[in-house]
Amino acid sequence: MKFHLQSLGTIIALFILSLTLKGQIKPERQWPGFRGYMASGVLDNAKLPESFDLHKMINVRWKTEIPGLGLSSPVIWGDKLFITTSVSKSDNQGIKTGIYGDGMPVADSSVHDWKVFCIDKNSGKTIWQRTAYTGIPKIRRHPKSTHANTSVATDGKYAVAFFGSEGLYCYDYEGKLIWKKNFGVLKSVAYDYVAAEWEFASSPIIYNGVLIIQCDVLENSFLAAFDLKTGKELWKTKRDEYPGWCTPNIYKDGDKTLIAVNGYKHRGGYDFETGKEIWWMSGGGDVPIPTPVIGKDLIYFNSAHGPSSPIYAIKTNASGDITTKPTGILNEYVKWSIPHGGSYIHTLLLYRDHLYNVNWNGSIVCYDAGTGKVLYNAKLGNAQSFIASPVASDGKLYIIDEQGNVYIIQDGITFKQLAEIPLNDICLTAPAITDGMIFFRTQKYLVAVGKK
């Protein structure tokens, strides 16, 4: 009898454990920050619809108007979606599209409300919204920018929004403000012409209960880590760096966790526990924007502003100064590089064995991710300009031009376009993917595409 009771107890315990595990949310199936899990831009087995039509609302679950202006991409955990915006009655010029050299900021000094929205991903209804800050922007915005550029970071318990000079805010999942921080004026300006104010754009990231922010600005640049629950500063490392707009990323070297950061003087890796700089490399585009991407024991970097536009595939065991002299010459930590081929705005997309680079003019180059060999070079549509970084799911790439046309491309060694679908609104943000749905944030709307 005792044996049978023990066996029964074990069976019940295993059954309860199986139910618990079944209900768990796997982080790798979420879209917890800019460009999803580890900024990969990838979620396979999502089973997205083959096509959709906003006019006829075919495979469109909902369409919700978002007030104000924002370039933060949607972020998703479970059934909750997070997005930010900055609202002003006077700042109504919208976003200027196209390729142009005018970098002077929008002439606006009106009062803005910086807002965080928590939205039910299934219905599009707002669960809660919070105004994080109200005031006149401390830094003006580029005509192609907004005052709410950074994406939220979440771990399923907390949601963190970073508004640059207007502060860093941590909310719980019910919308209660847990803590906030002010770093003063973060001068996100052109490094060689300070009147060209372009606004802040480096999104926060969360890993193992730690919040990481990268602040490359005109004065007092730094990389910092905070305890997510309390906001306590764990470490802060100064960076001698030009202003940049890059979001950091996490990578592994054996059992060590490190932070990859893009930059001009200090592209490199930092120890996650201490903030110590482990390796560094200078050069490249002098206004760095793309986020590093991780895979195949490599860290992929690109940048393109000024005379240099490299792509680098750096080994995760890199150490010390690995700057190549001259640019393009390999060393023991640079597996491969392309001196001229990087993108000014777009984050690279590593998908399966291919590395995709989309350029501002709509060209798309597919590389062998292991060797850097060019597999093809093609042109997307007839649009003049592209800003949104690409994403992928189930063998397909999703790329959007500034006029809001979605190009669906087949993954592979040859270029094959499957569809071109209009969103009917300006779009400069990377889509977000969850099971059965893909979300597009346009200038005015948030659109959920999925089978009804």
Q: Give per-residue pLDDT as tens, 76-126.
A: 999 999 999 999 989 988 999 998 888 899 999 999 999 999 999 999 999
| pLDDT at position 8 | 45
Q: In the predicted model, is pLDDT for residue 2 greater than 60?
A: no
* Buried residues in 169-185 as b, exposed as e (16+ CB within 10 A): bbbebeeeebbeeebee
Least Cα distance to 137 among 159, 115, 108, 162 occurs for 108
SS3 403: coil
Whole-number Å distance between alpha carbons of 335 and 348 = 17
CA 175 to chain centre: 22
Domain coordinates of the chain in residue numbers?
A: 31-450
Give 56-72 as a DSSP string. TTBTEEEEEE--SB--P
Whole-number Å distance between alpha carbons of 146 and 213 = 19
Q: How confident is the model at residue 452 (pLDDT cuts 50, 70, 90)?
A: confident
Span 159-167, average pLDDT: 98
Q: In the predicted model, is pLDDT for residue 17 greater than 50?
A: no
User: Parallel, antiparallel, or unpaired: how do β-strands 158-162 and 153-154 relate?
Assistant: antiparallel
Residue type at position 15:
F
In CATH terms, 31-450 corresponds, of 3.50.50.60, 2.130.10.10, 2.60.40.420, 1.20.1600.10, to 2.130.10.10
| pLDDT at position 328 | 61
Structural contact between residues 190 and 103, judged by C-beta atoms closer than 8 angstroms: yes
Question: What is the overall mean pLDDT for the chain?
Answer: 93
* Residue 264 C-beta-side C-alpha neighbours within 13 Å: 23
Q: In the predicted model, is pLDDT for residue 21 greater than 50?
A: no
